[in-house]
Amino acid sequence: MHVPEELWYTKEHEWVRFEGGGRARMGITDHAQHELGDITYVDLPGVGKQVTQGAELMVIESVKAASDVYAPVSGTVGEVNTALADAPELINKDPYGGGWLCVLSGVDEGEKARLLSAAEYRALLERQ
C-alpha cells in the first residue's frame, strides 16, 4: 500500500496535508479505498461546516458499504472536491491526488500530536 512520507494519518485511514496558512487538505488513504472497493458516491460536506478533530465529516458509499469519514483535524470546510460528484472513482484511482475530499481552513498544526506519521501509519497497517 502506498503511504506518502509527507502526509499525516489517522487510525481511521484518513490522510491530511498541511498546506500552510492554516489550510489542510484531506482524503482517505490508499488502504482505505482498497478496503472499500469501488466508490459509488461521496456525500460531500457543505462549505462552512465546522468540525472538531475526530468528528464525523462525511459519508462515502462503495459497492460494499457506506462508511463515515472523520475530520483528521479541527477546522472549517473551506473547499470541497466537486469533481467527485461525477467521478467518485477518482478516490480509487488517485487517493492522494485527484481523489482529495476537502480542504479545511483555520486548522491548528498543533493537532499533529494526535495524528500518525507515515512510519507510524505503515506500522498500523502491518499490524492489521
Partner 1 sequence: MKLIYEQSRPGRRGVRVPECSVPRAKARIPARLRRKEPAALPEVSELDVIRHYTNLSRLNFSVDTNYYPLGSCTMKYNPKVCEKVARLDGFAKLHPLLPQLRNGGMLTQGALKVLYELERMLAEVTGMAEMTLQPMAGANGELTGAMIIAAYHAARGNDKKRFLIPDSAHGTNPATAAIAGYGVTPIPSDGEGCMDLKALEKELSDDVAGVMLTAPNTLGLFEKHVQTICRLVHEVDGLMYCDGANMNAFVGRVRPGDLGFDVVHLNLHKTFATPHGGGGPGAGAVGVVEKLRPFLPISRVIKRDDGTYALDYEAPQSIGYIAPFYGNFGVLLRAYAYLRMLGAEGLREVSTHAVLNANYVRVKLREKYETPYDRMCMHECVISARRQERHGVRALDIAKALLDRGFHAPTVYFPLIVHEALMIEPTETESKETLDAFIAAMEEIAELAETEPARLHAAPVTTPVGRLDEAAAAREMILTA
Which is nearer to partner 1, 39 or 107 (by Cβ)? 39
Site for partner 1 contains 37 (CB under 8 A): yes
Does position 38 bind partner 1 by CB under 8 A? Answer: yes
108 binds partner 1 (CB under 8 A): no
Q: Count CA within 13 A, CB hemisphere, residue 101.
A: 28
Check residue 97 for interaction with partner 1 (CB under 8 A). Answer: no
Is 64 near partner 1 (CB under 8 A)? yes
Q: Count of CB atoms within 10 A of residue 69's CB?
A: 23
CA distance 45 to 47: 6
Q: Work out which of 1, 47, 55, 65 binds partner 1, going by CB under 8 A.
A: 65
> Rounded CA gap, 106 and 19, in Å?
11
